[in-house]
Structure 1
Amino acid sequence: MRSKNLHANFKWSSWLFGRPGKSKVPVIFFYGNLLLWGYPTYFFKILPVLYNAFWEWHIIFALSNVLMWIFFLKASLMDPGFLPQDTEEYHYAVRQAINFNDWKNGKNPLGRLCHTCHLVKPLRSKHCCMTNRCVSYFDHYCPYIYNDVGQRNRAYFLGFLLTMCINCLFGIYLCWNWFQVEGQSLLIGLGCLFLIIIGFVSAVMTGMCLYMAAMNITTNERVNAKRYFYLMDKTGKFYNPFDRGLRLNLLEFVHLIPPLSFDKIRRRQISEI
Structure 2
Amino acid sequence: MKFSKLPSSVENHCSQHVDLSLPVEQTPMHGADVNAIDHTGQTALHWSAVRGHIQVAELLLKEGAKVDAADLYGYQTTHVAAQYGQTAFLCHIVAKWNADHDVPDNDGRSPIHWAAYKGFADTIRLLLFLGAYRARQDKEGCTPLHWAAIRGNLESCTVLVQAGKKEDLTVQDNTGLTPAKLAADKNHRQIAFFLENARRVHERGCGGNSYFVKLSKFGLAPLLWCIIIALIFVYMHSIILGDYNTNMTLPFGFFSWLGVFLATAGLVMFYRCSRKDPGYINKNTRDSQNQRDDEPLLKRGLHNLEVLDGNWSQLCITCKIVRPVRSKHCSTCDRCVEQFDHHCPWVSNCIGKRNKWEFFMFLILEVSAMIITGVTAIIRSAGDPASPSSFGGWLGYTAINHSWVVSFVVMDLFLFFGVITLTVIQASQISRNITTNEMANSMRYSYLRGPGGRFRNPYDHGVRKNCSDFFLKGYNEDIERVVQTLQPDEEMGPIQMGRSEVAHNCESTPLHGNGTDHCSTDSPVNSKSHRSKKSERTPFGLGMGLGRNNPSSRYVRSLLPL
When normalised by structure 2's length, the TM-score is: 0.40
The answer to whether the Cα contact below 8 Å between 2:259 and 2:370 also exists between their aligned partners in 1 is no
How many residue pairs get aligned? The number is 245
Task: Give 5+ residue unaligned stretches, structure 2.
Answer: 1-207, 286-295, 388-396, 486-562
Partner of 2:408: 191
Whole-angstrom CA distance in 2 between matches of 1:82 and 1:56: 41
The answer to whether the Cα contact below 8 Å between 2:470 and 2:476 also exists between their aligned partners in 1 is no
Partner of 1:64: 262
Partner of 1:31: 225
- Aligned partner of 1:222: which letter? M
The Cα offsets for residues 217-241 of structure 1, whole Å up to 9 and x where unpaired, read as 0010011001111000122111011
What percent identity do the matched residue pairs reach? 23
Partner of 1:113: 315
More helix as a share of residues: 1
Partner of 2:300: 92
Aligned with 1:134: secondary structure? strand
Give the deviation of 1:142 after TM superposition. 0.5
Partner of 1:3: none
Partner of 2:464: 247
After TM superposition, which residue ranges in structure 1, 4 or more long, deviate above 6 angstroms?
Answer: none
Give the deviation of 1:70 after TM superposition. 1.9
Q: 1:108 to 1:261 in 2, by over 3 A?
A: closer
Give the deviation of 1:207 after TM superposition. 0.6
1:144 aligned onto 2:361: no
Aligned with 1:211: secondary structure? helix
The Cα offsets for residues 194-225 of structure 1, whole Å up to 9 and x where unpaired, read as 11121111111111000000011001001100
The answer to whether the Cα contact below 8 Å between 1:38 and 1:191 also exists between their aligned partners in 2 is yes
Partner of 1:45: 238
1:10-25 aligned at under 5 Å gives the runs 10=209, 12-15=211-214, 17-19=215-217, 24=219
- Pick from 72, 76, 97: which aligns with 2:274? 76
- Pick from 474, 479, 482: which aligns with 1:261? 479
Whole-angstrom CA distance in 1 between matches of 2:476 and 2:297: 24
- Aligned partner of 1:208: which letter? I
Aligned with 1:161: secondary structure? helix
Whole-angstrom CA distance in 1 between matches of 2:415 and 2:476: 34
Give the deviation of 1:126 after TM superposition. 0.3
Task: Give 5+ residue unaligned stretches, structure 1.
Answer: 1-8
The answer to whether the Cα contact below 8 Å between 1:90 and 1:113 also exists between their aligned partners in 2 is no
Aligned with 1:141: secondary structure? strand
Give the deviation of 1:254 after TM superposition. 3.0
1:98-177 aligned at under 5 Å gives the runs 110-177=312-379
The answer to whether the Cα contact below 8 Å between 2:270 and 2:359 also exists between their aligned partners in 1 is yes
User: Higher relative contact order at CA 8 Å, sep ≥6: structure 1 or structure 2?
Assistant: 1
Give the deviation of 1:45 after TM superposition. 1.4
The answer to whether the Cα contact below 8 Å between 1:64 and 1:166 also exists between their aligned partners in 2 is yes
The answer to whether the Cα contact below 8 Å between 1:89 and 1:119 also exists between their aligned partners in 2 is no
Q: Which has the larger radius of gyration?
A: 2
Partner of 2:439: 222
Give the deviation of 1:10 after TM superposition. 4.2
Give the deviation of 1:55 after TM superposition. 1.3
- Aligned partner of 2:231: which letter? G
Give the deviation of 1:260 after TM superposition. 4.3
The answer to whether the Cα contact below 8 Å between 2:459 and 2:479 also exists between their aligned partners in 1 is no
- Aligned partner of 1:210: which letter? A
Aligned with 1:130: secondary structure? coil
- Aligned partner of 1:61: which letter? G
Whole-angstrom CA distance in 2 between matches of 1:150 and 1:254: 15
Q: 1:155 to 1:83 in 2, by over 3 A?
A: same
